[in-house]
């Protein structure tokens, strides 16, 4: 596999660059190669917990220096979408500070009485009371939005529930279906290609999930690379009706030998 001719790289983070606070093998060499070759790259993550600045600082603590403009999250994509739909709207949020900040920065206010939207992202502050309140708000007319459709995600302790699993009780209790913004929604992929300033055929997306990263690339006509360092095992691939263009163990394999 030789991807050195590609002008730009879109990379997932969880399961591709790190697991929790553990950097994955080959990442230092991969990012170093991108910088040496002057290739534009964007870390495009479905995680909504952290802001680009926090993600930049997290990588910095692991020894990888990447400026915050090289990051784009599902929280930012969600905030941009909601702001375009209803400028100056309000939301009841089940999520972490990265999501709340993105919504504030987009001109939204927090509202737990009669919000325009109920927005759900990854969070550790998840409770029966908050699920119940969210379901009641949706039944009263609030629109239900999820930052991303991931059911699970990788962590240092193994596979953990992600946004789609967290939002499911609200969908079931309210009878409403959530709209998800993150990968594979073409909205976030179009933004990534636009930020990189290249044509889609000159870009490649690297991810560890068949149901978000790889399908996002296929539906956006961007070349796809599946890494086996995250949630997908080689034997899992056969369960899907589509295939990635390339399958590798980790991002270190992209660096020309």
* 139 prior amide bond cis, ω within 30: no
**Contact status, residue 100 vs residue 112, Cβ threshold 8 Å:** no
CA 13 – CA 10 distance, rounded (Å): 10
pLDDT at 160: 85
pLDDT in tens, 60-100: 999 999 999 999 999 999 999 999 999 999 999 999 999 99
pLDDT at 165: 96
Q: Among 42, 91, 90, 48, which Cα is nearest to 69's? A: 42
Pairing of strands 152-155, 158-161: antiparallel
Ranges of the chain with pLDDT below 70: 154
pLDDT at 1: 74
Region class of 81: left (phi > 0), else alpha (psi between -120 and 50), else beta? alpha
Active site residue 236: no
- Cβ neighbors of 32 (< 8 A, separation 6 or more) are none
Measured between alpha carbons, how far is residue 29 from residues 6, 51, 57, 60 in Å? 17, 25, 19, 15
Q: Is the dihedral of CA 219, 167, 206, 40 positive or negative?
A: positive
pLDDT at 145: 98
pLDDT at 257: 83
CA 200 – CA 196 distance, rounded (Å): 10
Q: Among 109, 135, 104, which Cα is nearest to 120's? A: 135
**Contact status, residue 219 vs residue 200, Cβ threshold 8 Å:** no
**Contact status, residue 115 vs residue 92, Cβ threshold 8 Å:** yes
Question: Could you please report the per-residue DSSP string of 89-149?
Answer: -EEEEES-HHHHHHHHHTT-EE-SSS-SEEEE---S---HHHHHHHHHHHHTTPEEEES--
All structural domains of the chain, each given as residue ranges with its CATH number in brackets, are: 8-46+183-254 (3.40.50.1000), 75-180 (3.40.50.1000)
pTM for this model (two decimals): 0.90
pLDDT in tens, 47-67: 999 999 999 999 999 999 999
């Amino acid at each position: 596999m030789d991807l050195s001719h590609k002008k730009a790289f879109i990379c997932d983070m969880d399961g591709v660059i790190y697991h929790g606070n553990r950097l994955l093998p080959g990442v230092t060499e991969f990012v170093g190669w991108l910088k040496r070759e002057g290739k534009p790259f964007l870390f495009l993550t479905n995680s909504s917990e952290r802001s680009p600045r926090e993600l930049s600082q997290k990588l910095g603590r692991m020894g990888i220096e990447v400026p915050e403009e090289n990051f784009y999250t599902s929280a930012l994509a969600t905030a941009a979408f909601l702001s375009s739909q209803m400028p100056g709207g309000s939301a009841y949020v089940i999520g972490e500070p990265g999501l709340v900040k993105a919504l504030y920065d987009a001109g939204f206010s927090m509202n737990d009485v009669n919000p325009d939207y109920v927005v759900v992202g990854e969070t550790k502050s998840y409770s029966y009371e908050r699920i119940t309140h969210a379901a009641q708000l949706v039944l009263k007319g609030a629109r239900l939005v999820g930052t991303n459709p991931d059911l699970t995600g990788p962590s240092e302790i193994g596979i953990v529930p992600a946004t789609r699993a967290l939002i499911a009780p609200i969908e079931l209790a309210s009878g409403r279906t959530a709209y998800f913004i993150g990968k594979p929604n073409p909205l976030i992929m179009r933004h990534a290609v636009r930020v990189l300033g290249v044509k889609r055929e000159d870009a490649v997306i690297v991810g560890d999930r068949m149901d978000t990263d790889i399908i996002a690339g296929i539906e956006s006509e961007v070349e796809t690379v599946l890494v086996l360092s995250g949630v997908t095992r080689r034997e899992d691939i056969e369960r899907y009706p589509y295939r990635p263009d390339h399958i590798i163990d980790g991002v270190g394999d992209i660096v020309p030998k």
